[in-house]
């Protein structure tokens, strides 16, 4: 029962090193502070215990001392705040060329789809050493995609996309938990992230692919009749979607917004919200006509139209210098069975 | 003076009149405080019972003691009962009600009838919550997050919500009563700089109760309206934003944790001053830091939502403000420690609880810094690290302070002395049991065990077993005070007016005090914590109590 | 703080000079509660208590204003379309009704302080009547909303409603439903507070009729007045925010 | 309240008329297209009316106590905190 008793989470992503460094710094600072307070209290309690004939010395207080132990903690807090903010920003800005995985959270299971088309339930196979960007939404309540080994957690909300990314540095199988209470089987909504060597990953990828997600998206784009208005030339009643994704879009009421995943999703489900400049609001809503998976496929298709220049299917695995943390010997803790 | 009072039984608020009516229709703030004491202890043991069931379930990785749904209801009910029916009312309603008028030299609170109404609202809320628990309970967690609470569960959310709504008004009216009393009914000479720090702490608590509770009240009304009349305000299918619920909920629920801890800080200030025979170091800084905590407490709520989907820039702002609110708490801890310097310290039970508070609140506060750091928060939020953090503050801080206060003022409340030996033993057991229960949860949290998990991967079992062992010790630790307090009501030695020779107006009157607190209205001519005068007057006799 | 001049409560036998003994004929002024030293302290306490209660009410409505602010910025088009369906004339009349009722309340407080019995009773009655007129107009508005199926829930319909300023563009029904949800919760809560206000003034009327209020003791009228003015202030904000979002042609 | 704080009837009536005028003004202002300023104008008019009611009808102006003014200002401050810091999230959500 006690064969596997980790006291420290596995370190399997670039972020893990940064978070652990800040954590250890804070443990040391807090440990020192707790030690200081405990020894002061115990020493004073012993040294100044009540003795007959020795009255307490009334000390009013000293403003300079008060200022010192207000300002110094605040300065230390600011250091911690800035360090935490830097780590947070790095964790919340996905690199541009990351491979994308669409995650749909449903009461008590995770459905994952690779851009290359593979579909998985409660499991995610990723190659080591490549940035992976997760585009997540929920079909019902709020869930939270939590991989302790990657020090990554991001709530998954119904009605919009939330994005998270990681860069696995150590092959192995790591826990995937749902971290936001979501009902009866909240503790059963778990899975695993299987990080594989690139060669193993290619082998796994080749089998069982129904074609890239963007291809499925293209099929749905045609079936639903989107192509009748969104044509490749400029006579269409809807805007031409070539090269739209990721670029700013001028709206009819003068605002400009970046065409990200949430914009594409909103334009499909609630076309009236943001009308592109120079177009009439004639697009019907597809709310309820399109499932989450079809929606993900359409978003992947629109995305593929804008980076048409690249090879589309397999983004070349950019050779990345292993992050500082990954170089060290893997931390204690064996394979998770 | 600490002399025995052998003369015949004097008329006091306890033996002035008997009969159920004299208790259930009383407007005497002291009797209402005792009514609260009984009802709060009742709810504390219900919440504690749920906690033990949760810990028993978590002994084994598989869910084998109770069903998944039952477990979800257990931790929800544990949260709701402990927070809304024990922690928020406990110190303000029991010790605050009893002591605020006496400490400022008033005969009663400003609105005695509203004070009784507050207790009845608390009882109505309590009965509604009990009925809700017995007929199905709630399984959303005490946080009621939408859209789960509004659309994906059919447990009794509306009834539990209305119970909390009603109990919330009891908290609002208590806060209102205290603020008006402290402003309007101080004895002549009791200026703001002579107020005991207990009063400053309760003033700050009342500010939060008055300004925060209504926002959660309207949020609960919106959830109830959405469930019953389908008016979808938080409903994502209509385009509603579930994060708006979290903003409105945490706008109250973070300041609520300061409602729970500030009164304990007030108690600890009184105890440390009395048992070090010294004025608190930097009195004005400690007083103003209570107010600073109350005001800053309203600026930081979204540090509960860093991974919930709020914008990165908002997370930055709230993380920065969260560090600002940590400074006053740090100032308080430093001042308490500095008060011990060159004191004349005596280790009675209240002082042991104050030391316990000092240690555990420091650790709770420091782990709050971990959670405020954005980088670490992403990893540790919604894990057992958070569970350990807030239990260190609430159980290690608020409950230790509450027990310390109960021991310190028990002679004044009951007119009897509690058994000192047993009290010190209980303090030790609570301290040890507490640490054994919650320190392993810090490690569990960082290793990655999520909150509210009915079953967990086997590698987390050892730490969970330790935590459950600690919970049983803690349970025993909490039973002891109830037993010997009841025992002392019957068999305790009669208490002198001022057993600890403490400073403060409440010690200038008899124990237990007469119904109108003072035979003739006190006029305050001395500064707060004038232990020099008190010790000067009786240099030779060392006040050994019990 | 006026601390020094406060004295300990007078022994029961001695009454406050110049104080007419009220109907009950007790030793001291019946309205002076036992734990207050004197009349002025009790009045100050009651007034401060009511102001703090109004602070809780401001935060109570504040949560709704926060939800309104966020959804108005998020779905401005639907909010202006839905706001246009509200009856502007009824809303404006209601605002005028409440302002008049605030006047009658202030006159009632003035009358109580100057022992003008008929003026006090008249204004109290007027206030209650205006309160009922307000609720009547509100009932008419709600009824019209029921008929137009604008009440959120399964029966809600809001199809093909133009967005003002964008002819041909239809409002998204689900977002408009959020506006009406907020409309009904905010005006409903306000109407509930209006009903409580009318209840308070009926009680004040009976007490005034029995002659309990004198220039020395009229705190309840004052406190009731503060509450009524607060309910008026809430409507002063609700009217433009709900009715006047986008009324230009 | 002691004698001096209840203003004579004339003041009440003038305040009452000003409030009615304010209502008429805000209704008229809504029919004029000021773009984004419509909301700002409506809110300022409403705040002026609320201030008039508070100062004259609720006798804040005449009150000797600074405490009541402090309570009102503190309440408005905390309401502003709720609105402003919530907007800190919603306003900046489109930036990332």
Q: Read off the pLDDT of each residue in B178-197 and give the average, rounded to a whole number.
A: 93
With cut-offs at 50, 70 and 90, classify the pLDDT of residue A336: very low
Query: In angstroms, what CA-CA distances link C195 with B231, B385, C134, C188?
Result: 22, 48, 10, 10
- Contact (Cβ atoms closer than 8 angstroms) between residue C9 and residue C37: yes
Phi, psi of C211 (to 5 degrees): 75, 25
**D72 lies in some domain:** yes
The answer to whether residue B395 scores a pLDDT higher than 80 is yes
**D45 lies in some domain:** yes
C239 touches chain D (CB under 8 A): yes
Q: Read off the pLDDT of each residue in D22-48 and give the average, rounded to a whole number.
A: 91
Kindly state whether residues D47 and D84 are assigned to the same domain: no
CB nearest to C63's CB, from B215, B516, B521 = B215
Measure the CA–CA gap between B212 and B293, rounded to whole angstroms: 14
Chain A nearest-CA residue for C165: A253
Domains and CATH numbers, chain A: 99-211 (2.60.40.420), 214-306 (1.10.760.10)
Sole residue written with tokens 């077993």: B465
Average pLDDT over chain A reads 85
Kindly state whether residues D84 and D45 are assigned to the same domain: no
Kindly state whether residues D20 and D56 are assigned to the same domain: yes
Instruction: Give per-residue pLDDT as tens, A55-110.
Output: 888 888 889 999 999 999 999 999 999 999 999 999 999 998 899 999 999 999 99
Kindly state whether residues D75 and D43 are assigned to the same domain: no
- Kindly report the nearest CA distance between residue B219 and chain D, in angstroms: 13
Q: What percent of chain B has pLDDT over 70?
A: 97
Selected residue of A15, A43, A45 to mutate for chain B interface (largest B Cβ count, 10 A): A45
For residue B526, the tally of other CB atoms under 10 A from its CB is 12
Residues of C in contact with D89 (CB under 8 A): none
Q: What is the CA radius of gyration of chain D?
A: 18
**D92 lies in some domain:** yes
A270 touches chain C (CB under 8 A): yes
The residues with which B266 forms a beta bridge, in sequence order, are none
**D86 lies in some domain:** yes
Number of domains in chain D: 2
With cut-offs at 50, 70 and 90, classify the pLDDT of residue B478: very high
Kindly state whether residues D69 and D57 are assigned to the same domain: no
Instruction: Give per-residue pLDDT as tens, B87-141.
Output: 999 999 999 999 999 999 999 999 999 999 999 999 999 999 999 999 999 999 9
Q: Read off the pLDDT of each residue in B388-413 and give the average, rounded to a whole number.
A: 95
What stretches in chain C show pLDDT beneath 70? 1-32, 34
With cut-offs at 50, 70 and 90, classify the pLDDT of residue A326: very low
For D80, the domain range is 64-96
D92 touches chain B (CB under 8 A): yes
Instruction: Give per-residue pLDDT as tens, A136-195.
Output: 999 999 999 999 999 999 999 999 999 999 999 999 999 999 999 999 999 999 999 999
Instruction: Give per-residue pLDDT as tens, B142-163.
Output: 999 999 999 899 899 999 999 9
Chains in contact with A, where contact means 3 or more Cβ–Cβ distances below 8 Å, are B, C
Q: What b/e string do you get for B448-479 counting C-beta neighbours within 10 Å, with b at 16 or more?
A: bbbbbbbbbbbbbbbbbbbbbbbbebbbebbe
Complex ipTM tops 0.90: no
Residues of B in contact with C172 (CB under 8 A): 239
Residues of A in contact with B397 (CB under 8 A): none
Kindly state whether residues D13 and D56 are assigned to the same domain: yes
Kindly state whether residues D16 and D55 are assigned to the same domain: yes
Domains and CATH numbers, chain B: 30-537 (1.20.210.10)
Q: From its phi and psi, is residue B382 left (phi > 0), alpha (psi between -120 and 50) or beta?
A: left
Domains and CATH numbers, chain C: 57-243 (1.20.120.80)
Measure the CA–CA gap between A183 and B149, rounded to whole angstroms: 10
**D54, C239: Cβ pair inside 8 Å?**
no
With cut-offs at 50, 70 and 90, classify the pLDDT of residue A333: very low
Instruction: Give per-residue pLDDT as tens, B413-456.
Output: 999 999 999 999 999 999 999 999 999 999 999 999 999 999 99
Kindly state whether residues D12 and D53 are assigned to the same domain: yes
- Contact (Cβ atoms closer than 8 angstroms) between residue B187 and residue C6: no
**C171, A273: Cβ pair inside 8 Å?**
no
B-contacting residues in A 230-249 (Cβ below 8 Å): none
Which residues fall within 8 angstroms of residue A124, CB to CB, at 6 or more apart? A101, A112, A176, A191, A192, A193, A194
A272 touches chain C (CB under 8 A): yes
- Kindly report the nearest CA distance between residue B153 and chain A, in angstroms: 8
Work out the burial of residue B424: count CB atoms within 10 Å of its CB; fewer than 13 is exposed, 13-18 middle, 19 or more buried. middle
What single DSSP character describes residue A25? H
With cut-offs at 50, 70 and 90, classify the pLDDT of residue B168: very high
Kindly state whether residues D51 and D77 are assigned to the same domain: no
CA C131 to chain centre: 9
D-contacting residues in B 292-331 (Cβ below 8 Å): 298-299, 301-302, 310-314, 317-318
Kindly state whether residues D42 and D54 are assigned to the same domain: yes
Which of A236-240, A319-323, B262-266, B378-382 has the weakest average pLDDT? A319-323
- Kindly report the nearest CA distance between residue C74 and chain A, in angstroms: 9
DSSP string, B185-232: -PPTT--GGGS-HHHHHHHHHHHHHHHHHHHHHHHHHHHHHHHHH---
**D22 lies in some domain:** yes
Kindly state whether residues D57 and D68 are assigned to the same domain: no
- Kindly report the nearest CA distance between residue C55 and chain B, in angstroms: 7
- Helix and strand numbers, DSSP H then E, in chain A: 8, 12
D64 touches chain B (CB under 8 A): no
What's the pLDDT at A2? 52
- Kindly report the nearest CA distance between residue D77 and chain C, in angstroms: 11
Find, among B391, B373, B479, B501, the residue nearest to B436 by Cα. Answer: B391
What's the pLDDT at C31? 63
**D1 lies in some domain:** no
The answer to whether the Cα torsion of D52, D58, D59, D63 is positive or negative is: negative
**Total-model pTM:** 0.90
Measure the CA–CA gap between B264 and A233, rounded to whole angstroms: 71
Chain B nearest-CA residue for C35: B107
CB nearest to C172's CB, from A270, A275, A280 = A270
Q: Read off the pLDDT of each residue in B46-66 and give the average, rounded to a whole number.
A: 93
**D56 lies in some domain:** yes
Instruction: Give per-residue pLDDT as tens, A278-287.
Output: 888 888 888 8
**D2 lies in some domain:** no
Average pLDDT over chain B reads 92
Find, among B466, B477, B458, B474, the residue nearest to B442 by Cα. Answer: B466
Kindly state whether residues D14 and D53 are assigned to the same domain: yes
Measure the CA–CA gap between B138 and B131, rounded to whole angstroms: 11
Between residues A79 and A229, which one has the greater pLDDT? A79
What's the pLDDT at C20? 36
Cα-Cα end-to-end distance for chain B: 15
């Amino acid at each position: 029962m006690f064969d596997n008793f980790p006291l420290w989470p596995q370190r399997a992503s670039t972020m893990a090193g940064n978070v652990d460094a800040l954590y250890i710094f804070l443990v040391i600072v807090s440990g020192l502070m707790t030690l200081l307070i405990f020894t002061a209290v115990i020493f004073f309690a012993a040294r100044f215990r009540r003795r007959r004939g020795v009255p307490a010395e009334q000390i009013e207080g000293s403003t300079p001392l008060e200022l010192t132990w207000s300002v110094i903690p605040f300065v230390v807090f600011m250091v911690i705040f800035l360090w935490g903010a830097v780590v947070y920003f790095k964790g919340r800005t996905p690199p541009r060329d990351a491979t994308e995985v669409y995650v749909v959270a449903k009461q008590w299971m995770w459905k994952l789809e690779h851009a290359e088309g593979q579909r998985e339930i409660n499991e995610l196979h990723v190659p080591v050493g490549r940035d992976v960007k997760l585009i997540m939404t929920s079909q019902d309540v709020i869930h939270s995609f939590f991989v302790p080994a990657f020090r990554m957690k991001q709530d998954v909300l119904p009605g919009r996309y939330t994005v998270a990314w990681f860069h696995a540095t150590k092959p192995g199988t790591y826990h995937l938990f749902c971290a936001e209470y979501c009902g009866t089987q909240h503790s059963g909504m778990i899975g695993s992230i299987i990080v594989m060597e690139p060669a193993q990953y290619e082998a796994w990828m080749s089998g069982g692919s129904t074609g890239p997600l963007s291809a499925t998206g293209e099929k749905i784009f045609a079936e639903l009749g989107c192509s009748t208005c969104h044509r490749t030339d400029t006579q269409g009643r809807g805007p031409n979607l070539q090269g739209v994704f990721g670029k700013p879009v001028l709206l009819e009421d003068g605002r400009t917004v970046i065409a990200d995943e949430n914009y594409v999703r909103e334009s499909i489900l609630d076309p009236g919200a943001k009308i592109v400049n120079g177009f009439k609001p004639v697009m019907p809503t597809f709310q309820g006509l399109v499932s989450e998976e079809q929606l993900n496929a359409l978003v992947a298709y629109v995305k593929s139209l804008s980076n048409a220049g690249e090879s589309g299917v397999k983004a070349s695995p950019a050779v990345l210098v292993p992050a500082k943390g990954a170089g060290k010997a893997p931390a204690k803790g064996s394979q998770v069975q | 003076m600490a002399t025995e009072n052998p003369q015949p039984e004097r008329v006091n608020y306890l033996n002035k009149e008997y009969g159920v009516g004299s208790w259930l229709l009383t407007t005497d703030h002291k009797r209402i405080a005792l009514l609260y004491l009984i009802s709060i202890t009742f709810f504390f043991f219900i919440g504690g019972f749920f906690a033990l069931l949760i810990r028993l379930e978590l002994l084994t990785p598989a869910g084998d003691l109770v069903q998944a749904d039952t477990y979800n209801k257990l931790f929800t009910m544990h949260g709701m009962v402990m927070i809304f029916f024990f922690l928020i009312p406990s110190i303000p309603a029991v010790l605050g009600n009893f002591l605020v008028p006496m400490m400022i030299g008033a005969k009663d609170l400003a609105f005695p009838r509203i004070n009784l109404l507050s207790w009845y609202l608390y009882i109505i809320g309590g009965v509604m919550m009990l009925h809700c628990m017995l007929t199905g309970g709630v399984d959303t967690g005490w946080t009621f997050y939408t859209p789960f609470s509004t659309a994906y569960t059919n447990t009794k959310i509306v009834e539990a919500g209305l119970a909390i709504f009603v109990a919330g008004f009891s908290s609002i009216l208590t806060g209102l009563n205290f603020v008006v009393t402290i402003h309007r009914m101080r004895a002549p000479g009791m200026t703001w700089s002579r107020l005991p720090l207990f009063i400053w702490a309760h003033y700050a608590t009342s500010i939060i109760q008055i300004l925060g509770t209504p926002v959660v009240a309207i949020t609960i009304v919106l959830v109830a309206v959405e469930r019953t009349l389908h008016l979808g305000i938080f409903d994502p299918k209509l385009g509603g934003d579930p994060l708006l619920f979290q903003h409105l909920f945490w706008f109250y629920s973070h300041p609520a944790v300061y409602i729970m801890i500030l009164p304990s800080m007030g108690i600890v200030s009184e105890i440390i001053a009395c048992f070090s025979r010294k004025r608190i170091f930097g009195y004005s800084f400690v007083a103003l830091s209570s107010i600073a905590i109350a005001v800053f407490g309203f600026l930081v709520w979204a540090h509960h939502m860093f991974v919930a989907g709020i914008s990165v820039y908002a997370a930055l702002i709230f993380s920065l403000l969260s560090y600002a609110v940590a400074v006053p708490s740090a100032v308080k801890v430093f001042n308490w420690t500095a008060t011990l310097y060159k004191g004349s310290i005596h280790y009675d039970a209240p002082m042991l609880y104050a030391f316990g508070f000092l240690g555990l609140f420091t650790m709770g506060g420091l782990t709050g810094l971990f959670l405020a750091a954005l980088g670490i928060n992403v990893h540790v939020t919604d894990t057992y690290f958070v569970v350990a953090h807030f239990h260190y503050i609430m159980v290690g801080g608020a409950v230790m302070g509450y027990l310390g206060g109960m021991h310190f003022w028990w002679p004044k409340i009951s007119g009897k002395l509690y058994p000192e030996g047993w009290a010190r033993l209980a303090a030790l057991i609570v301290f040890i049991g507490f640490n054994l229960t919650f320190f392993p949860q810090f490690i569990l949290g960082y290793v990655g065990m999520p909150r509210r998990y009915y079953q967990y991967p086997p590698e987390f079992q050892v730490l969970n077993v330790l935590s459950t062992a600690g919970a049983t010790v803690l349970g025993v630790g909490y039973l002891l005070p109830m037993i010997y307090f009841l025992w002392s009501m019957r068999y305790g030695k009669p208490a002198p007016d001022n057993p600890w020779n403490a400073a403060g107006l409440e010690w200038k009157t008899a124990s237990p005090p007469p119904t109108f607190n003072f035979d003739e209205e006190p006029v305050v001519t001395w500064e707060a914590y004038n232990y020099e005068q008190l010790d000067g007057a009786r240099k030779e006799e060392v006040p050994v109590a019990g | 703080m006026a601390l020094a001049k406060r004295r300990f409560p007078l022994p029961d036998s001695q009454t406050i000079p110049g104080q007419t003994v009220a109907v009950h004929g007790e030793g001291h002024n019946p309205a002076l509660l036992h734990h207050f030293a004197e009349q002025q302290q009790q009045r100050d306490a009651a007034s401060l208590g009511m102001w703090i209660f109004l602070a809780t009410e401001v935060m109570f409505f504040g949560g709704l204003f926060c939800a309104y602010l966020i959804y108005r910025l998020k779905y401005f088009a639907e909010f202006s379309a839905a706001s246009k369906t509200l009856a502007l004339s009824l809303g404006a009349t209601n605002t005028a009704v409440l302002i008049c009722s605030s006047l009658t309340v202030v006159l009632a407080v003035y009358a109580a302080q100057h022992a003008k019995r008929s003026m006090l009773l008249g204004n109290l009655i007027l206030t209650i009547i205006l309160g009922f007129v307000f609720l009547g107009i509100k009932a008419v508005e709600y009824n019209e909303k029921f008929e137009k199926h604008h009440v959120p829930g399964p029966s809600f319909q809001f199809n093909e409603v133009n967005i003002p300023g964008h002819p041909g563009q239809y409002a998204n029904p689900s977002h408009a439903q959020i506006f009406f949800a907020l409309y009904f919760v905010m005006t409903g809560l306000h109407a509930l507070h209006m009903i409580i206000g009318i209840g308070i003034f009926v009680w004040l009327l009976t007490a005034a009729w029995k002659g309990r209020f004198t220039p020395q003791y009229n705190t309840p009228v004052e406190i009731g007045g503060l509450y009524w003015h607060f309910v008026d202030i809430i409507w002063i904000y609700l009217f433009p925010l709900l009715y006047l979002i986008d009324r230009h042609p | 309240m002691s004698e001096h704080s209840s203003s004579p009837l004339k003041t009440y009536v003038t305040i009452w008329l000003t409030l009615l005028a304010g209502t008429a003004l805000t209704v008229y202002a809504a029919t004029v297209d000021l773009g984004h300023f419509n909301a700002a104008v409506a809110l300022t008019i409403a705040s002026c009316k609320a201030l008039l009611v508070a100062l004259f009808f609720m006798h804040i102006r005449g009150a000797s106590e600074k405490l009541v003014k402090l309570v009102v200002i503190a309440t408005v401050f905390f309401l502003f905190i709720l609105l402003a810091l919530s907007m800190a999230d919603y306003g900046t959500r489109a930036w990332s």
